[in-house]
Amino acid sequence: MSYEVELSKAAPLVVPEKKTRRWMRRETVAGYIFVAPFMITFIIFIVVPIVAAIALSFYTFDAFSRPEFVGWHNFLAILTQDRIFFQYAIPNTIQFALIVGPGGYLLCFLLAWLINQLPKTARDLLALAIYTPSIFQGVAMTVVWTVVFSGDRVGYLNQLMLKWGLSDVPILWLQKPAYFMPIMIAISLWASMGVGFLAMLAGLQTVNQEMYEAGKIDGISNRLQEIIYITIPAIRPQMLFGAVMAVVGTLKAGAIGTLLATATGQLITPSYSGHLMTNHIDDFAFVRYEFGYASALSVILLLLIYGSSKFSFLLFGTKEDER
């Protein structure tokens, strides 16, 4: 009894204030050390190029002479004088983004959901097979797709069409403007199963299966209702990530048309049929050496990507995500 009284009267353990401050300082320094590699990389490769592009958009610069300040002239020239920008680059980019963006996004979710129903071994193999084209997109485009869409009888598609009697002569798939954009869209959809697809697949594997059992008790009777009321709300962060990646990927696409055109000996896509905004930027930056004008185009593209990303946040994000 006396022992319990002595314990109750004992003074509480007090940590010296200097030790507490020293511990907190060490924790703060350790946190900054862990964050530093990402922050340095982010500042060098993201912040600095964006600031430089915005600043350079108010100058004329050809990489040889000194930059000359022109104010809003580059932006006014884009809005009033650049016929190719409004006639081809903007319409093609919007058409390409509206089809490949939502189409690739829906394909990512559908394939991820279907693969998630399979056993683990089959799921892993199929996920790898579907994800691989997004890694080797450029190589596959020049090696495989140019052979598939070759304009002679050697081309795989022409061989099939001639064999089945669907065509009497070989079709110049990559030389005709009417076919070029659909081919770009088809290849982009084929190669759209990137990190967004993996994120959705990973999210589907974390959904608590008890939620589906509870849903059946509450009246959910089919798979479509499960997807709408349980699956999509449960993987909303992964859906948001996939939407943002789809938006950024489609709006900054441009290498597809360039590779297909150069593989067939063309300097540009036939009649600008596959001319996207990034192709327009590359034209002024690396062919005409008008870096100020190209920077102004890049700023417009950046604003388009930012606006589309904000729209994705409105669809799938929460107030916490916006913070």
Q: What dihedral angle (degrees, nearest 10) is formed by the CA atoms of 285, 291, 296, 298?
A: 40
Instruction: Give the DSSP letter of residue 141.
Output: I
CATH number 1.10.3720.10 is the correct assignment for the domain at 84-134+180-322: yes
Q: Where are the chain's structural domains? A: 15-56, 84-134+180-322
What pLDDT is stored for residue 20 in this prediction?
A: 64
What pLDDT is stored for residue 168 in this prediction?
A: 86
Select from 155, 142, 149, 140 the least CA-distant residue to 181.
149
* Six token digits for residue 276: 């996207």
Q: By the 8 A CB rule, do 244 and 111 touch? A: no
Q: C-alpha 248: how far from its chain's center?
A: 4
What pLDDT is stored for residue 130 in this prediction?
A: 87
Q: By the 8 A CB rule, do 292 and 305 touch? A: no
- End-to-end, the C-alpha distance of the chain in Å comes to 56
What pLDDT is stored for residue 138 in this prediction?
A: 63
Count the residues in the chain. Answer: 323
SS (H, E, C) 239-265: HHHHHHHHHHHHHCCCHHHHHHHHHCC
* Six token digits for residue 122: 């089959």
What pLDDT is stored for residue 217 in this prediction?
A: 83
pTM, two decimals, is 0.80
pLDDT beneath 50, residues of the chain: 1-11, 13-15
pLDDT in tens, 80-119: 998 999 999 999 998 998 898 888 889 989 999 999 988 8
Cα 264 from Cα 260, distance rounded (Å): 7
* Six token digits for residue 80: 């009033």
